[in-house]
Amino acid sequence: MIKPSKPDNEAQRLLALQRYQILDTPQERSFDDLVTIATALCGTRMGAVTLVDQDRQWFKARQQLDACETHRDISFCAHAILTPDQVMVVEDARSDPRFSDNPVVVDDPHVRFYAGAPLLSVEGLPLGTLCVFDAAPGHLDSSQLLALTALSRQVSLVMELRRYAHEIQQHMTDRAWYEQRLAEYNELLEQQNADLAEQSRTDPLTGLPNRRAMSAALEAAVRDADGQPRATAVALLDIDHFKTVNDLYGHATGDHVLSELARLLRAHFAGHGLAARYGGEEFVVLMPDTPLATAELQCDFLRMAVADLPLGLPLTISTGVAAHRHGDAIEQTLARADAALYRAKGEGRNRVIRAD
């Protein structure tokens, strides 16, 4: 095991950490929620908001982790703060000489995969990390790295909000100062809430709405303002042989393909539909006030446009389209579109199949 060195600015870093008055404080939901989002986005079982003190790392929030602190010498995060401008990723700790015989690798919780995004003070000093980890080796794609970095900024923002609140309590007697700081606090809080709301609804790679946002849109689209049923069509589409694209051209090219398809979807359905990333290489399109035959035709036009994308590699999509039926649950409509997509793949791909 290689013990982590200390940053050159260690003294200033520790002073900055103390100013937040956060060490050894009770759990707070705002931090717990950010850890929950981080582990869900990165697909890990464990995660934490970790603050690196002089001789220990202390967890302000943690998921699936019993200890509230560990010694700094065995801390992955103490290594991560040495490169505060990037996310530190350890795909398999057993093959990394820094951690192969680390107690948390050899013994419980048997950490194998780790990714930590540094938490920075307003002066840019690394205070700790937002980290995710698991007992199995792992990997983060570019969109997950971007999301983890964005969430680490939110943790730092929540810490700033706490510091502002503490200062406000100390200066209650000065009304002018209090009113000024309260306005700043409310502005920061509104910014955090807006950022979190946007992150919870938007896919970070493509900029399209995500599955959660699409589910809400579907619920709203199947009825008009008076509660009457609308002729709404739903399409599920999948990039054919996308794994081969990643294997032959690399994940960066795969991400570019996803982004370009998202751009085409936005243009193709602008003003008369909503496209979202449903997961992986699968997308969903909502077409309100659209009969099934028209939706099928629009999807076929999209299929031909995808084949003409100037990507430098062959690309096709398979699509299943279904009309929402009055009385059905949204999940039933999606399941029918998914069954039609499965048929499209089974019949040779690069085609549009509509549900019965």
- Rounded CA-CA distance 158/315 in Å is 43
Asked whether residue 191 carries a pLDDT value surpassing 90, the answer given is no
Q: Active site residue: 179, 184, 281, 296, which one?
A: 281
Which amino acid belongs to residue 151? L
- Confidence class of residue 167 from pLDDT cuts 50, 70 and 90? confident
DSSP code, position 117 = E
Q: Give percent above pLDDT 90 in the chain.
A: 67
Antiparallel, parallel or unpaired: β 56-63 and 233-239: unpaired
Question: Active-site residue 187, yes or no?
Answer: no
Antiparallel, parallel or unpaired: β 69-71 and 56-63: antiparallel
Asked whether residue 179 carries a pLDDT value surpassing 80, the answer given is no
Q: Are 170 and 162 in contact (CB under 8 A)?
A: no
pTM: 0.56
Strands (E), 202-265: 233-239
Sign of the CA dihedral running 57, 60, 65, 67: positive
* Residue range 120-166, pLDDT digits in tens: 999 999 999 999 999 999 999 999 999 999 999 999 999 999 888 88
* Residue range 19-45, pLDDT digits in tens: 999 999 999 999 999 999 999 999 999
* Residue range 302-313, pLDDT digits in tens: 999 999 999 989
- Confidence class of residue 99 from pLDDT cuts 50, 70 and 90? very high
**Tokens representing 330?**
């949204």
Q: List, in order of start, the domains of the chain with CATH numbers.
A: 10-200 (3.30.450.40), 211-354 (3.30.70.270)
